[in-house]
Amino acid sequence: MIGFLQRLVNADSGKKATEIEAWERPIEAAYWGRTEMLKREYPTRKAITSLVNDKAPTGSLFGPSVLAAACSRGHINLVATLLSEAENVDLDRMVSGKTMLHHTACAPDDQPIVAGLLILHGASHDIPDKEGVTAAEWCEAYRQVATQRLLAEVEEWHRTPWTTPAPTERWFESLLHNQPDSDLTRALA
């Protein structure tokens, strides 16, 4: 239904429906967490890398990119799959003025596992967005307590790496204690 509405909106603005469907379909799949569909349509590492690094033209109802949509909706398996399969992903690149960690921090639900996956794959926790706000500050604004605590541990570790153990190992052990999932386990390896 939303895809249909998007085509109507963009048809009024003069864009061809086929062009919209071409870039909107994978983002819509990420938004709804359809990992298997994306794996089927993008079977190679090169295709997934291209998918993760591409950003949508302005006006996407589902998000500015496939990874941003998956992060903001908290689709752990999809984020883990995209991060483990894609090569040379710049997680600190601004998409719509926010990094992937900002998109996670602004999610409607607390997403500490997604934030942890991003940090494990090299996302910087202290980069401000286009408004000058860090991901931790967005967590506070959106009351994302667990994600905010994870980012505070990462900040503490960056300030005193010689006295504080790396937070991601300890944090992930407690978060993933009862989650047997092959994609997630592979992403952490």
How many residues are listed for the chain in this entry? Answer: 189
Which of 19-23, 50-54, 133-137, 148-152 has the weakest average pLDDT? Answer: 19-23
Average confidence (pLDDT) over 144-165: 80
Mean pLDDT of the chain: 75
Determine the residue type at 89. V
List C-alpha distances in Å: 67 to 100, 137, 157: 7, 21, 26
pLDDT of residue 68: 87
Answer positive or negative: Cα dihedral of 101, 102, 105, 111: negative
pLDDT of residue 121: 85
Report whether pLDDT(178) > 60: no
pLDDT of residue 137: 92
Instruction: Find out whether 64 and 95 touch, Cβ atoms under 8 Å.
Output: yes
At 108, is the secondary structure helix, strand, or coil?
Answer: coil
Eight-class DSSP state of 15 = -
Report whether pLDDT(186) > 70: no
Q: Could you report the per-residue pLDDT of 63-88, keeping only the tens digit for each?
A: 778 888 888 888 888 888 888 888 88
Residue of 171 and 55 predicted with greater confidence: 55
Eight-class DSSP state of 93 = S
Nearest residue to 124 via CA among 156, 152, 108, 101: 101
Q: Which two tokens stand for residue 93?
A: 């690149």
pLDDT of residue 16: 46
